[in-house]
Amino acid sequence: MLEELIKQSETRQFKAVFPNTLNANETLFGGKAMQWMDEVAYITATRFTRQRMFTVKTGDIKFLKAVTQDSIVEVVGKVIDAGAVKLKVQMEIYVEDMYSRKREKAIESEFVFACLDENNKPKRIDYSLMEAETELV
């Protein structure tokens, strides 16, 4: 069941890199990449649990390759660890030239999420809800 939920919750989002996302070095702003990763990580965590989640921390963000204008990036989120309280999402950004088939991993990181109760306080992840919903699908 857990493997199937991980597979179903994997999230992919594509972005075109335009001039308004570039820094003075004409590469993608690191903060913009982090924003994209946090959004996809949040969606991944929420799709996995179907509960209210929030970002607790990010791991080391590794910038492996510069992302330049006229690139397409794919932001990929996948659950890699599901604990009682925290959920870990592996984030990767792949870059491909807009006008060729060349594709490389450009950025990677891990994001940690926790579950929120109705008062916006952290709570344990309720895996029984996930099992019940999975059986209905």
CB 108 within 8 A of CB 67: no
Which pLDDT does position 130 carry in this prediction?
75
Kindly state the DSSP code that residue 20 receives in the 8-state scheme.
Answer: G
Which pLDDT does position 1 carry in this prediction?
76
Which pLDDT does position 137 carry in this prediction?
46
pLDDT in tens, 29-40: 999 999 999 999
Per-chain mean pLDDT for the chain = 93
* Prediction pTM value: 0.91
* CATH code for the domain of 9: 3.10.129.10
pLDDT in tens, 93-125: 999 999 999 999 999 999 999 999 999 999 999
Residue span of the structural domain in which 128 resides: 2-136
Domain count, the chain: 1
Q: Mean of the pLDDT values across residues 57-76?
A: 96
DSSP string, 69-136: SSEEEEEEEEEEEE-SSEEEEEEEEEEEETTS--EEEEEEEEEEEEEE-TTS-EE---HHHHHHHHHH
Q: Which residue, 16, 115, 14, 111, is CA-closest to 68?
A: 16
Q: Mean of the pLDDT values across residues 17-23?
A: 96
